[in-house]
Amino acid sequence: MDHGKPKVFAAKRIPPEALAYLEQYCDVRSWDGDGPIPRERLLAALADAEGLLTSGDAIDDELLARAPKLRAVSTVSVGYNHFDLDAMRRRGVVGTHTPYVLDDTVADLVLALMLSAARRVTELDAYVKSGRWERGQPEAALFGTDVHHASLGIVGLGRIGERIAQRAVHGFGMKLYYHNRSRNPEAEERYGAQYVSMDELLGESDFVVLMTPLTPKTERFFRKEHFDRMKPSAFFINASRGRTVDENALVEALATGRIRGAGLDVYEVEPVDPSHPLLAMPNVVTLPHIGSATAQTRRDMALTAARNLVASLRGDEGAYVVKELRS
């Protein structure tokens, strides 16, 4: 152990390459238990830590008070809704995340949700595997909806949204609408994206994809009035965070046939309750918050997070500091 190196705690398992990188510069202790670290163990581990590598742990006042030496928190994710930004700012703790490395991987999964929901892939997979496919059945009962040349509305056309746009427009010939708080002129030029109001986006889109970060402004931002404005034939896709949506309103829109179907990677409470009504709906494709989870991308994210932590502690350039905490 080198006493000159800053002490850091890795609250999640990271691949050997990322751990080796961290160990070059830091005195590293890691959580090696199964599953997420219990809160009390995390707080105890932070008593003398200057850096923390984490993914979903709430970085709030309580934690910061128990971590008097903490200078940097690096999350292995692009979303950082678990950061209490005010508390971190007050205590001068830097927060970093992992943008860009996962954009294509998450975009692939969003397309998978769109295709699965529209072409009923999971529903029909279950149909075949359960032996219900018999000769002479009316085929029309199995028909789906076209994705190609349909219209797509992205709410939150940022880094990941642009990679979805690229696939949808250049691959599937889709017409693209988007709604952000501010315009994205590059995306308008590259993908012919039309900047529209929420109302217009909901009224025009065959697929509505929610891709905003979870912030106090986007918490339960998508609600009944939005589902009510969607086309009855449209699909709702959420790969942002579950809490951006009023889930009861989503259940109601699906149960009443107000919308055609949904593709979900995220839920208000995760893991989702096995008795949740969404899980019993054949027109809903449900994934376990798996958007960035390919082996390669998770390795790249861990390495980016390790580099972020080292750069932040050394005061080097190049760490992806979250925008609200940039000085």
Q: Which residues are catalytic?
A: 241, 270, 289
Quote the DSSP letter at residue 141. G
Q: Name residue 59's beta-bridge partners.
A: 83
- Maximal C-alpha separation, the chain: 76
Contact 300, 58 (CB under 8 A): no
DSSP per residue, 219-257: TT-B-HHHHHHS-TT-EEEE-S-GGGB-HHHHHHHHHTT
Measured from the CB atom, the residue of 218 and 312 that comes closer to ligand NAP is 218
Closest distance of CB 213 from ligand NAP, Å: 3
Least Å from the CB of residue 30 to ligand NAP: 23
Give the other-Cβ count within 10 Å of 160's Cβ.
27
Tell whether omega for the bond before 185 is within 30 degrees of 0, i.e. cis: no
Q: Which residue's Cβ lies closest to ligand NAP? A: 158
Cα–Cα distance between 194 and 153 in angstroms, integer? 9
Cβ–Cβ under 8 Å, residues 149 and 174:
yes
In angstroms, give the least distance from the CB of 59 to ligand NAP: 15
* Residue 107 vs 313, nearer CB to ligand NAP: 107
CB of 163 or CB of 175, closer to ligand NAP: 163
Q: How far is the CB of 29 from ligand NAP (least distance, A)?
A: 27
Euclidean distance between CA atoms 233 and 231, whole angstroms: 5
**Residue (163 or 260) nearer to ligand NAP, CB:** 163
Task: Give contact residues for ligand NAP (rule: CB under 6 A).
Answer: 78-79, 99, 102, 106, 155-161, 179-182, 211-214, 217-218, 239-241, 265-266, 289, 291-292
H or E element that contains 190: helix 185-191
Q: What is the amino acid identity at position 256?
A: T
CB of 309 to ligand NAP, least distance (A): 19
Whichever of 196 and 281 has its CB closer to ligand NAP, that residue is: 196
Cβ proximity of 201 and 177 under 8 Å: yes
- Provide the minimum distance between the beta carbon of 261 and ligand NAP in the complex, in angstroms, as a whole number: 18
27 vs 57 by CB, closer to ligand NAP: 57
What tokens were used for 12? 């999640």
Contact 148, 170 (CB under 8 A): no
CA distance 154 to 179: 6
Residue 106 · residue 291 · CB < 8 Å = yes
